[in-house]
Amino acid sequence: MNRKLTLGSLFDGSGGFPLGGLICGVTPLWASEIETFPVRVTTKRIPEMKHFGDVSKLSGANLPHVDIVTFGSPCQDMSIAGKRAGLCGTRSNLFYEAIRIIKEMRCKTNGKYPRFIVWENVPGAFSSNKGEDFRTVLEEICKIKDKRLSVSKPKSGKWTNSGEIMEMRSPFVGESLMLNTGECPNEERESTLSQILQANVPTKYYLSQKACLGILRRASARGKQLPQMLRIALEQQALTDTMQN
């Protein structure tokens, strides 16, 4: 009988990866999360999963060895909604803690565990620091197995999330890195925003004039050019709110 795969979740949040694992027949053994309420959720929903707290205080050598380590490291510094400090930011640089823990576990088990790692983040990770941050992410992951490996940016200079597969042609890796790991490479394109938007949204969910003007003002102050459709929508909503008041 085949042994069930096991999973450890760093930056666990409210347990999305462990839940997905359970649905797919994977056994979640442990999680790392510091926020009280998400921990209460997973403690109730997945009581058999152990919690180990702050990632910065963990040692991969001492954690129960697992086949899969998942980590949705903090995205705030990579998100287009933030200041975009990238991997140098105080939050998104916690990515390196996950890499450290994985390396420690690999070292302790002579390279046997974890067998797979899954990193989740925002789309802004592709463009953060002009794509250099995502290149660093891929390179750091590859170096877990071989310190000599390096990763170059695409010839176009831009990363894509359209199901592109990056072949790492090295006898030391022997695997493919997929930017989209869904069963269907382009499954995120199977529905469009217009298909799921409500036709008549209650006005209580509308952005106020103050909120719209605030977004426009902050973008201007930062020298950030908003997408044309977003800018027009904000301007129109601010004007509509003024007329209604």
Provide the CATH number for the domain around residue 23.
3.40.50.150
Residue 143 to residue 98: CA distance in whole angstroms: 13
- Domain shared by 144 and 224, yes or no: no
Query: Are 24 and 88 contained in the same domain?
Result: yes
Identify whether residues 184 and 197 lie together within a single domain.
no
pLDDT at 159: 73
Which residue range is the domain that position 231 belongs to?
193-244
> What is the pLDDT at residue 199?
73
**pLDDT tens per residue, the chain (245 residues)?**
478 999 999 999 999 999 999 999 999 999 999 999 999 999 999 999 999 999 999 999 999 999 999 998 888 887 777 778 888 888 888 899 999 999 999 999 999 999 999 998 887 888 888 888 888 888 998 889 888 888 887 777 777 654 444 444 444 344 444 444 444 444 444 445 555 667 787 888 888 899 999 999 999 998 888 888 888 989 988 887 655 55
Indicate whether 84 belongs to any domain.
Answer: yes
pTM: 0.65
| CA–CA dist 196, 194 (Å, integer) | 6
The interaxial angle of helices 228-244 and 209-221, nearest 10 deg, is: 140
Q: Indicate the SS3 state at residue 98.
A: helix
Q: Are residues 202 and 222 in the same domain?
A: yes
Helix axes 95-108, 132-143, angle to 10 degrees: 10
CA distance 190 to 229: 22
Instruction: Tell which of 188, 205, 234 closes a domain.
Output: 188
Catalytic one among 75, 107, 142, 212? 75
The H or E element that residue 214 is part of is helix 209-221
Q: How many structural domains is the chain composed of?
A: 2
Query: What pLDDT is recorded for position 134?
Result: 87
Q: Residue 198 has what pLDDT? A: 72
Q: Judge whether 75 counts as a catalytic residue.
A: yes
Q: What share of the chain is helix, strand, coil (3-state, %, to 5)?
A: 40, 10, 50
- Give 6's strand partners: 27
Instruction: Look up residue 135 and give its DSSP letter.
Output: H
Residues 128 and 214 occupy one common structural domain? no
Alpha-carbon dihedral 36, 37, 39, 43, rounded to 10 degrees: 130
* Neighbouring residues of 153: CB distance < 8 A, sequence distance ≥ 6: 131, 132, 135, 159
Is the same domain home to 184 and 205? no
* CA pair distance 120, 179, nearest whole angstrom: 10
Same domain? 52 vs 101: yes
CA distance 28 to 19: 8
Q: Are residues 13 and 109 in the same domain?
A: yes
